Structure 1
Amino acid sequence: MAALPVPAIHTLIKEDQVSGIAIHGWTVRSNKTSILNSQEIDLATADLGIPIPEMIFGNNFLSIEHTSGFKLEFKALPALALVDQSSTSSDLIKVSYAREWFDKRSMANQEHITDVIKPYDWTYTTKYNGTNSSPQSQMQFHPESGAAIDIEQLKRPDPILFYDENILFEDELADNGTAVLTTKVRVMPSCFLILLRFFLRVDDVLFRIHDTRIYHRFETNTIVRECSTRESSYRDTRARIPRSKGDDLSLLLDSNWVSSQLPEQASQVEVALLE
């Protein structure tokens, strides 16, 4: 009879608004709290120099830390600091999808859309991929063409020791779509996987997704970060809804389904090393 695998020694964390797990020298924490209050919003707006999203969970975070000193965090305000604030940033979607955009603006019931055109990227598009505060240079991420996330390992029916989802910010774009930044973490006995996802839907115009995945197999010294950007027009994405769905557009609200339909625009794999 084959020997049963030895279960991973781990400790679950539950402290006020923080949940997490400690395993194999790693500590994973997810902090969930309410949206920023008015004073915090004023401070964040002044610091960033742009109006912040309608729902900003500025005190939420997901963090992973190793006993070697490696530390990576995912938070809303550093992500928003990467939003384009150039003088032409608010015109980028109009340039790429001019006909759809101007047709939408010309609709009588959408006149308020002009209110969101400001000298910053009002879609809050960000390619934020985490804040790395690790002390050693090798613990910073560097491009590595031969590295990859072990998809086959992730497909195994291993038990999930810890799972959590967290919203960092969300905005409905003046009722014309949604922009949302979320984290998901899954910890198994052999590895962990983190997904940071920026999901953008501008109704009748476009879909855009920027994903950052962090993967680590325990008892190795390699952390893999995979970043990818996907984008397509709203019309082309909607056309991919199965005919069996009829007029049901609910799939367009599902970021996982939308992601599976969008062509990849760019991707990069990076690696950081533990001591």
Structure 2
Amino acid sequence: MSGPTHKLINNNGTKGIDIGDWTILSHKTSILSSNEIDTASADLGIPIPEMIFGNNYLSIEHKKSGFKLEFKALPALAMVDQSSTSSDHIKVSYAREWFDKRSMANQEHITDVVKPYDWTYSTRYSGSNVSTNNALEFRPTTEESIDIEQLKRPDPILFYDENILFEDELADNGTALLTTKMRVMPGCFFILLRFFLRVDDVLFRVYDTRIYHRLGAPTVIRECSTRESSYKDIRSRIPRSKGDDLSLLLDSNWVSSQLPEQESFVESVQLVAI
């Protein structure tokens, strides 16, 4: 299948592709240093996840219009609920002990700002719009949607990458994980930003953001969805043939396919010239 000319990028931990009017980059490096962790915790006002890849990012930039969307860990964590009732609806047998332990571990650098927060790190982050043109904003749409049929076609994949932004095992109570997946084909590109939460014996939650663009089209489409159900419900859906094997509960794709959708909406941004 023919398509726009493209060039792969691979430079000091940054991989990506130049294709048509787009530059797509995925940067990976090590977890934050202790000094960076201190600064991030103080800025955010909460203990940060155990594995925080604060310098990792995925970015897409449309060179003609100036539209640019980035996906990073710290802006995502800035959206974690810090209200006084942020985690009242999620309880584990020793949640209070866990919270106190995490707070004490970080007291040296956030003594003055420790406060209640959603210890599951649930975030509805859908990307950071850093476009050079303020008019390039996502707006609700009912006329456009992701072309699922195009994504199903066995077109060659010109570029693919996965990137972990943060991960926490919730003091052995489960996992909270924020990741990006990107694939570029000759006719389109697709991004999945996923927040996956498993609180053992309590619940599963998935916040998905999907970004789709048909190369040459005048718009970029963003679809956001929320899925959630009890741990007991999802565990009951494991096929009987699996016996006592619970490994499917670690598979965010399988879990997501079993979760009922609670909310979804579609937005698009018009790629206008500056």
TM-score (norm 1): 0.91
8 Å Cα contact 1:113/1:174 also seen in 2 = no
- Number of the residue aligned with 2:107: none
- Number of the residue aligned with 1:16: 12
| TM-superposed deviation, 1:7 | 4.5
| Residues 1:248 and 2:245 aligned together | yes
2:37 corresponds to which of 31, 35, 41: 41
- Number of the residue aligned with 2:235: 238
Q: What is the alpha-carbon distance in structure 2 between the residues aligned to residue 220 and residue 27 of structure 1?
A: 16
Q: What is the alpha-carbon distance in structure 2 between the residues aligned to residue 250 and residue 134 of structure 1?
A: 41
2:72 corresponds to which of 62, 72, 75: 75
Segments of 4+ moved more than 2 angstroms = 5-8, 111-114, 135-138
Three-state SS of the structure 1 residue aligned to 2:117 is coil
| TM-superposed deviation, 1:146 | 1.8
Q: What is the alpha-carbon distance in structure 1 between the residues aligned to residue 218 and residue 95 of structure 2?
A: 52
C-alpha RMSD over aligned residues: 1.3
| TM-superposed deviation, 1:112 | 7.3
Percent identical across equivalent pairs? 72
2:167 corresponds to which of 164, 170, 177: 170
| TM-superposed deviation, 1:137 | 4.2
Once the two structures are superposed, the pairs formed by residues 1-275 of structure 1 within 5 Å of their partners are 5-67=1-63, 68-94=65-91, 101=92, 105=93, 111=94, 114-116=97-99, 119-275=116-272
8 Å Cα contact 2:4/2:186 also seen in 1 = yes
Q: What is the alpha-carbon distance in structure 1 between the residues aligned to residue 5 and residue 191 of structure 2?
A: 20
Unmatched tracts of structure 1, length 5 or more: 95-100, 106-110
- Number of the residue aligned with 1:108: none
Three-state SS of the structure 2 residue aligned to 1:220 is coil
Unmatched tracts of structure 2, length 5 or more: 101-114
Q: What is the alpha-carbon distance in structure 2 between the residues aligned to residue 33 and residue 82 of structure 1?
A: 23
Three-state SS of the structure 1 residue aligned to 2:149 is helix
Q: Which amino acid aligns with 2:244?
A: D
Q: Which amino acid aligns with 2:132?
A: P
8 Å Cα contact 1:138/1:272 also seen in 2 = no
Aligned residue pairs, count: 257
Q: What is the alpha-carbon distance in structure 1 between the residues aligned to residue 118 and residue 78 of structure 2?
A: 11
| TM-superposed deviation, 1:216 | 0.1
Q: What are the superposed Cα offsets for residues 62-103 of structure 1, whole Å, 9 maximum, x if unpaired?
A: 000011200000000000000000011121224xxxxxx4xx
